[in-house]
Amino acid sequence: MDSCVTPLRHGGLSLVQTTDFIYPLVDDPYMMGKIACANVLSDLYAMGVTDCDNMLMLLAVSIKMTERERDVVIPLIMRGFKDSAMEAGTSVNGGQTVVNPWCTIGGIASTVCQPNEYIVPDNAVVGDVLVLTKPLGTQVAVNAHQWLDIAERWNRIKLVVSEEDVRKAYQRAMDSMARLNRIAARLMHKYNAHGATDVTGFGLLGHAQTLAKHQKNEVSFVIHNLPVIAKMAAVAKACGNMFQLLQGHSAETSGGLLICLPREQAAAYCKDIEKQEGYQAWIIGIVEKGSRTARIIDKPRVIEVPTKEKEGELW
Amino acid sequence: MDSCVTPLRHGGLSLVQTTDFIYPLVDDPYMMGKIACANVLSDLYAMGVTDCDNMLMLLAVSIKMTERERDVVIPLIMRGFKDSAMEAGTSVNGGQTVVNPWCTIGGIASTVCQPNEYIVPDNAVVGDVLVLTKPLGTQVAVNAHQWLDIAERWNRIKLVVSEEDVRKAYQRAMDSMARLNRIAARLMHKYNAHGATDVTGFGLLGHAQTLAKHQKNEVSFVIHNLPVIAKMAAVAKACGNMFQLLQGHSAETSGGLLICLPREQAAAYCKDIEKQEGYQAWIIGIVEKGSRTARIIDKPRVIEVPTKEKEGELW
């Protein structure tokens, strides 16, 4: 499970909590703070928890940063983190800051709730479908963006992608990583989800396999569709598959929820999330009878997710 | 406050939680795990909380360790951490492990409790006394022990201390850092403590000042006695006061609780803790009328704490 659930001594309540930290991957410190916060909260949301009672922040400031760099960057990271927590209806009280060779940003999210407030992710049944709430390809986009300044790398991908494409994909990735999975979690209750996980470091398939392994029923997950930030599938291919994106192994940061939903509810789930947030979700696979494994079919359909699907305040 | 207290949506309950992590400072990985766990829990104990509902572990494995070193050292650290959690009547469910240039070990301790289960540390009154439950000097002892292998350093202190003294002080420090402040916390309730903090990175005086600053009443703390692991005051002096031990600034790891107790209860508190644990606690100062500050008197009495005060299983 993405979060740990501890039964408490008081009135049938449970403590649901999670911790995570990540290394900086975008060059905007404020957005980095937001992404780190969304990434921590995502583990709660994967359990269907929608309200976080408290967050702690963990921050390691790099010893390689100058004092001036620290003074500018760290408050921005912290502000991003706190703003994201506020957007999630919670706040940051406590934490620890240290210096370290590598900058790391993360935290702890905790909530105390009744059993009906979280969804144990072990209840998939044959006939369910799999829904994904954010596109894949954040790691590819972040790397491609760095390569704009590294001629040798850029030469490997410039035949399949323009500088403009990469900048847009990077913006889309940053926006996606900073987006909370909170509404996705809320709708899990409304549409009777049978379980979910969030897609992060182990890639879509890695997390799908972990989710499959923990099912009560003898089921397997088969993934047919891969929604990917526009052009990033081509970039991944041009790199000789170093990302293993289409094999499902490319790491994501603060990725979407992968949710098992009753077949007849899934379309409504996707429509509802799009209505509320302006972002698409996709039915990407099915739940079959099987031995608790997950796989991607031989030639999955790649869905190119436009980089300007939502006009508005962000870009 | 050492822990953060969040009122919950359920029946008058609060979430009390804390996070901390430290860098390795002893060469025994199992003891290092125990110390890291005791250090995290200590922030709860400082609030008078005696029962921890759950712990998460945070571990950063150094990229400079060989695979073989990792395979040997990391399981021992984790076992020490878990054994300490078990000793504290809790368990470790969840956490995160990453690689990083520097090895770090820490975690999160959380509990959900009623208002009478924790003691807000702001209630000191004139006439209270200050009790300390562990000796000072852990940092000095750990450093002196490292200097056994550094001739240049050792030469600076060998006139005031023998190799045997240093080894004993190091053992005593390790034992002290791994010891839980749990019974100290439990007895805070029995003897009506008015507030406490734990002594860690900012040294005795730093933490005393923070505690003083947050008092409701106009009080100040005056410290007369400094219990120090045997010979470590002399070592600190021989180093030209680089540690600032007798000035109250030497960092401690997993130090004791500094507790404000009613004068007439303090001796009983000390006697009780010694009876239960076999370790001394000391009355080290008084609470006067004042402007919420703390100070150590000009020539404090140094109490040499024997390195073999408790015979038994440990050494």
What confidence tens digit (pLDDT) does each residue in A136-159 have? Answer: 999 999 999 999 999 999 999 999
pLDDT 10s digits, A6-60: 989 888 899 999 998 899 999 999 999 999 999 999 999 999 999 999 999 999 8
- Tokens representing B50 are 């005696």
Asked if residue B315 has pLDDT above 60, the reply is no
Of A4, A171, A284, A310, nearest to B96 (Cα)? Answer: A4
Minimal Cα–Cα distance from B57 to chain A, Å? 9
Contacts of B98 in chain A (CB under 8 A): 21, 104
Antiparallel, parallel or unpaired: β A92-100 and A54-62: parallel
Contact at CB, B19 and A53, closer than 8 angstroms: no
pLDDT at A224 over 90: yes
The mean pLDDT of chain A is: 94
Chain A partners within 8 Å of B102 (Cβ): 100-101
Cross-chain CB nearest to B56 (options A9, A17, A104): A17
**Residue of A3, A54, A98 lying closest to B17 (CB–CB):** A54
Does B9 contact A58 at a Cβ distance shorter than 8 Å? no
Q: Are B131 and B146 in contact (CB under 8 A)?
A: no
Do A21 and B108 count as a contact with CB atoms less than 8 A apart? no
The model's confidence at residue B314, banded by pLDDT at 50, 70 and 90, is very low
Classified as helix, coil or strand, B13 is: coil
Cβ(A223)–Cβ(A149) under 8 Å?
no
Shortest distance between the Cα of A9 and any Cα of chain B, in A, equals 8
Contacts of residue A119, Cβ cutoff 8 Å, sequence gap at least 6:
A47, A48, A188, A189, A193, A194, A195, A196
- Summarize pLDDT for B14-47 with one digit per residue, the tens: 999 999 889 999 999 999 999 999 999 999 999 9
- Of the candidates B20, B51, B110, which has its C-beta nearest A17's C-beta? B110
How would residue A313 be classed by pLDDT, with cut points 50, 70 and 90? very low
Residue A9 is predicted with a pLDDT of: 86
CA distance A8 to chain B (A): 7
The pTM assigned to this predicted structure is 0.83
Picking from B17, B102, B112, the nearest residue to A56 by CB comes out as B17
Hey, how many other C-beta atoms are within 10 angstroms of the C-beta on A48?
25
Counting every residue written for chain B, the total comes to 315
- Residues in CB range of B162: below 8 A, 6 or more apart: none
Distance (Å) from the alpha carbon of A98 to chain B's nearest alpha carbon: 9
pLDDT in tens, B206-257: 999 999 999 999 999 999 999 999 999 999 999 887 899 999 999 999 999 9
Q: In this complex, which of B9, B56, B104 lies closest to A108 when CB atoms are compared?
A: B56
In contact, A101 and B102? CB cutoff 8 Å: yes
Of A87-91, A263-267, A305-309, B257-261, which gets the smallest average pLDDT?
A: A305-309
Closest residue in chain B to residue A54, using alpha carbons only: B6
| Residues A53, B100: C-beta atoms closer than 8 Å | no
For A268-291, what is the mean pLDDT?
Answer: 97
Alpha carbon of A46: minimum distance to chain B alpha carbons (Å): 15
In terms of DSSP bridges, do strands B282-289 and B129-132 run parallel, antiparallel, or are they unpaired? antiparallel
Residue A311: per-residue pLDDT:
46
- Distance from the A102 Cα atom to the nearest Cα atom in chain B, whole angstroms: 7
**Residues B266-299: tens digit of each pLDDT:** 999 999 999 999 999 999 999 999 999 999 999 9
The residue of B1, B5, B10 whose CB has the most chain A CBs within 10 angstroms, and thus the best one to mutate to test that interface, is: B10
Q: Which residues of A touch B (CB under 8 A)?
A: 3-4, 6, 8-11, 13, 15, 17-21, 51, 53-54, 56, 58, 93-96, 98, 100-102, 104, 106, 108, 110, 112, 114
Q: How confident is the model at residue A2 (pLDDT cuts 50, 70, 90)?
A: confident
* pLDDT per residue as tens digits for the range B56-101: 999 989 888 999 999 999 999 999 999 999 999 999 998 888 888 8
Q: What is the pLDDT of residue B311?
A: 46
Residue A203, pLDDT > 90, answer yes
- pLDDT at B1 (0 to 100): 78
pLDDT at B309: 47
Residue of B nearest to A100 (CA): B102
Do the Cβ atoms of B120 and B213 come closer than 8 Å? no
User: What was the pLDDT predicted at B312?
Assistant: 45
Residue A13: list chain B partners with CB under 8 A.
Answer: 10, 13, 112
Mean pLDDT computed over B190-201: 97
Strand blocks (E) in chain B: 4-7, 14-22, 54-62, 92-100, 104-113, 129-132, 195-198, 219-229, 257-261, 282-289, 294-305
Distance from the A40 Cα atom to the nearest Cα atom in chain B, whole angstroms: 12
Q: Pick from B53, B58, B98: which is nearest to A8 by CB?
A: B53
- What interface predicted TM-score (ipTM) does this complex get? 0.72
Q: Residue B169 in 3-state DSSP? A: helix
How many contacts (CB atoms, under 8 Å) link A and B?
102
Residue in A closest to B96 by C-alpha: A20
SS3 percent helix, strand, coil of chain B, rounded to 5, is 35, 25, 35
Nearest CB neighbour to B6, from listed A8, A20, A54: A54
At B123-162, the pLDDT tens digits run 999 999 999 999 999 999 999 999 999 999 999 999 999 9
CA distance A302 to chain B (A): 32
Spell out which residues of chain A touch residue B101, defining contact as CB-CB under 8 Å.
Answer: 100-102
- Give the residue numbers in B contacting A (CB under 8 Å), as ranges: 3-4, 6, 8-11, 13, 15, 17-21, 51, 53-54, 56, 58, 93-96, 98, 100-102, 104, 106, 108, 110, 112, 114
Q: What percentage of chain B has pLDDT greater than the value 90? A: 86
Contacts with A63 from chain B: Cβ below 8 Å: none
Biggest alpha carbon–alpha carbon distance for chain B:
62
* Minimum CA–CA partner of A57 in chain B: B19
User: Residue B49, Cα to own-chain centre: how many angstroms?
Assistant: 15
CA distance B161 to chain A (A): 33
Q: Chain B residue closest to A2 (CA)?
A: B94
Name every chain A residue with its beta carbon within 8 A of the beta carbon of B3. 94
- Mean local confidence (pLDDT), A98-117: 91
Question: pLDDT averaged over chain B?
Answer: 94
* Contact flag A101-B100 (C-beta cutoff 8 Å): yes
Dihedral angle sign, alpha carbons of residues A290, A296, A297, A300: positive
Instruction: Locate B210 and state its tokens.
Output: 């923070």
Residues counted in chain A = 315
Q: Answer yes or no: do B108 and A108 touch at CB < 8 A.
A: yes
**Are the beta carbons of B4 and A114 separated by less than 8 Å?**
no
CA distance, residue A127 to nearest chain B CA (Å): 32
